Amino acid sequence: MSSFYPHDFFRRIADIRVREVPEWGCLLVYTPARPNVHYLDARSWLIYELCDGRGYDDVLAEFGEAVPEGTSPEQIAKAVDKGLAALVDNGIVERTRAADRTVQEAGVG
């Protein structure tokens, strides 16, 4: 069971530093707020790229289009949930709720 909901939205943290390392097949991410360097493999890199303000269902659908045919919906959801959890836990991506977005867009708070 997922720890994310359809009304969860994800966006990249603004003050992080990223560097593509194609020869290693990874994205290096430096998080200055919690100083650390993270190595994102191709799967985590794709999930990171999809975190541009999209909702959970959109991230799940886009990721599902990029995986090999025949991958079960359960496998897709598990990979996305694991990837999002790691990105959020490591301070690379932030999770917001629909209600939070409404307040932010209205300029309240």
Give me the residue spans of the domains in the chain: 8-106
Query: Do residues 49 and 42 touch, judged by C-beta distance below 8 A?
Result: no
Q: Is the pLDDT of residue 103 over 50?
A: no
Grade residue 3 by pLDDT with cuts at 50, 70 and 90: confident
pLDDT in tens, 47-91: 999 999 999 999 999 999 999 999 999 999 999 999 999 999 999
Q: Is 3.90.230.10 the CATH number for 8-106?
A: no
SS3 content of the chain, % helix, strand, coil (to 5): 40, 25, 30
Dihedral pair phi/psi, residue 62, rounded to 5° = -65, -40
pTM of the model: 0.86
43 CA to centre of own chain: 10
How much is the mean pLDDT over the chain?
Answer: 91
Question: Are 47 and 92 a contacting pair, CB within 8 Å?
Answer: no
d(Cα 35, Cα 37) in Å, to the nearest integer?
Answer: 7
